[in-house]
Amino acid sequence: MVHQPRGEGKLEHRVEPTTRRGYWLYLPKGYVQADETTRAVRRWPLVVTFHGMKPYDIALYQAQEWEQEADRYGFIVAAPELRSFDFFTGEFPLRTLSRTFKSDELATLAIMDHVFETTHADPTRVLATSWSSGGYMAHYMLNRHPHRFTCLAARQSNFSATVLDPASTARSVRHPVLILSSELDIPVCKQETRDAIRWYESHGYKKLAWVYLSRLGHERTPDMAADFFARISGVQPKWPPRVLFQRQALDGNASGLALLAGSLPRSDEIAEGEVETATEATPRPGLPTPRRPVGQPAAADSGTRTARAQTPPAGPLTPKRRGLSDSSSPTTAPIAISVSSTIGFAPLLLVFGADCPTEWYRSADFAWRLNGTLIGQGVNGQTTITEPGDYTLELCVTADRGEPQCVRRTIRVLRSTETAAQRP
């Protein structure tokens, strides 16, 4: 089932007229409430999301899980009804291009055309995304039709190299790719996620980001894929993605950890010339090499982190022990604290994160204290302060067998007028 909250836009079932294939379409709240002139002026990014194995996942569930993210960022969402991934009749694991699979491919392309004809979706900003068995189709569509997609985000998804065409990789090697896995995911998805990462690395994909999320099972994570697509599309959220702030990584490459930490810049924050210009044949690639952002973090982000470029690690996707790095000499680097707000009204949701070298995300020890009380041991986190007053948020980081480096920030919590009115 779908645990994500519903949106306030419009969800409807449609049938593509040429293939007679059904799909679910979600129009975000901003689109539904806008007049036709406003809709036409603004181009709306499109999310094409592929469902997993029926009856456990269906197109309707995929559309529903994306509703809130679509409202947050202004995405149009299309979820094709696939025939290949059926527990009773489908091939699993997928190893061949069956007639049914090819019909799903053609139906998806026709559905996309139908969406572009009947809405103001932007054909130069299109995300292919998936959950579970839908990953077979998502990876395949980017591989075979890169001119139709801007980027790919596979979430706890399956992967099969045997249905991909290695000769076609030159056309998509600069497309941003995000691959998410989770600590408690089912074994076949974890193994095929490792296969996917190795495949993209071995074929020289320039903008691959992968993250191994802690404590999550085989569950839906559209929030991180939505943030990924928004950064590539240059879209700002209408309100903070609070669920995203709670994500913690056990492992990941430099781009993936920078994305999770909020330090990967959006396309509208990138200097001119750093991103290739989108054309009809080549969608806007986005996702530059991580760099240190300038200025204060955006209000919707959990905080800006330093993300230095480094070569993505090869090998299997396995959790790495938090502790000492392989270096035998101490490393000294500046650290800082990023917070969602240094002043606010009670109760204040405080989201915090560490500004530090990206390699420390996996190797260093983090200790967060609020007025001396330990509140977290990850790169980022959050807590709610219910009582007014001045608080000291302290971060101590120990890396490379060195001495702990500690920094502090003062947080001021004000009494809300509503709370004050209720007191005698």
- Could you write out the three-class secondary structure of 300-365? CCCCCCCCCCCCCCCCCCCCCCCCCCCCCCCCCCCCEEEECCCEEECCEEEEEEEECCCCHHHHCE
Same domain, 201 and 340: no
Does pTM surpass 0.75?
Answer: no
> Are residues 115 and 218 both part of a single domain?
yes
Report yes or no on 325 lying in a domain. no
Whether 48 and 135 map to the same domain: the answer is yes
Chain-centroid distance, C-alpha 412: 31
Burial of 211 (0-12, 13-18, 19+ CB in 10 A): buried
Angle at 189 between CA 137 and CA 153, to 5 degrees: 50
- Tell whether 375 and 249 lie within a shared domain: no
Pairing of strands 249-252, 208-213: antiparallel
The reply to whether 3 falls in a domain is no
**Are both 249 and 122 inside the same structural domain?**
yes
Residues 84 and 179 in one domain: yes
The residues facing 312 across adjacent strands are: none
Residue 309 maps to a domain? no
At which of 239, 269, 299 does a domain end?
269
The CATH number assigned to the domain holding 109 equals 3.40.50.1820
Residue owning tokens 């019909």:
103
Q: In whole angstroms, give the CA distance from residue 75 to residue 71.
A: 7
Is the domain of 256 the same as that of 348? Answer: no
Q: Is residue 198 part of a domain?
A: yes
Residue 319 belongs to some domain of the structure: no
Residues 229 and 137 in one domain: yes
User: In terms of domains, do 153 and 73 share one?
Assistant: yes
Q: Is the peptide bond before 347 cis (omega within 30 degrees of 0)?
A: yes
Q: 357 and 257, same structural domain?
A: no
As a three-state string, the secondary structure of 198-239 is HHHHHCCCCCEEEEEECCCCCCCCHHHHHHHHHHHHCCCCCC
Output the pLDDT for position 300.
33
Q: Domain boundary at 229, 253, 269, which? A: 269
Mean pLDDT for each consecutive 10-residue tract of the chain (424 residues)? 87 96 97 91 94 89 96 97 81 83 95 96 96 94 96 95 92 95 90 95 93 88 94 90 82 87 63 34 36 29 32 34 30 66 78 73 84 87 86 90 86 66 39
Q: What is the CATH number of the domain that holds 348?
A: 2.60.40.10
pLDDT of residue 265: 67
- Of 212, 235, 269, which residue is a domain's last? 269
Do 110 and 209 sit in the same domain of this protein? yes
- The answer to whether residue 97 sits within a structural domain is yes
Q: What is the number of structural domains in the chain?
A: 2
pLDDT score for 92 = 81
Q: Is residue 321 part of a domain?
A: no
Q: Which domain holds residue 262?
A: 10-269
Q: Are residues 80 and 178 in the same domain?
A: yes
Give pLDDT, residue 360. 75
Q: Is residue 47 part of a domain?
A: yes
